[in-house]
Structure 1
Amino acid sequence: MKFVNYLEKISGVGIYPLLSLLLFTIVFVLVVLYAMRASNETIAEMENLPLDEKKGL
């Protein structure tokens, strides 16, 4: 029996794709807003993080 057959037998399973899409959209919008509102200094610091050898792990 395939996995899809198990999911078809669960009542109300159709809400999960909608909830996951809604959660993804909310997180995506929040990340875009954070990126748009970040100052230039913060962006420059994040750009140099992979190359910065001063800060250790």
Structure 2
Amino acid sequence: MFEQIKHNMETIEGVSIYPILSLLIFFLFFVGLAVWVVSYKKEKIEELSQIPLEDNVKI
């Protein structure tokens, strides 16, 4: 079954760009996520980490 799919994909013009494009999107997403995590303010992280420990829960 894989042989049929491989043969069909090889006959499509310009199909070689899709693996490169998907790798680029994957890489940029995780680089962006890493930049966001590193640049997040430490005070905000501390504030958010204390939420489960608070007694006054508003539902």
TM-score, with length taken from structure 2: 0.67
Q: Gapped runs of 5+ residues in structure 2?
A: none
Aligned counterparts, 1:6-25, within 5 A:
6-25=8-27
Q: Gapped runs of 5+ residues in structure 1?
A: none
Q: Distance in 2 between matches of 1:4 and 1:48?
A: 53
Once the two structures are aligned, what percentage of the paired residues are identical?
Answer: 34
From the CA coordinates, give the structure whose radius of gyration is larger.
Answer: 2
Structure 2 residue aligned with 1:30: 32
Q: Deviations over 1:9-56 (max 9, x none)?
A: 1011000011111111111110000000001233341x567x58x466
Count of aligned positions: 53
TM-score, with length taken from structure 1: 0.69
Segments of 4+ moved more than 2 angstroms: 41-44
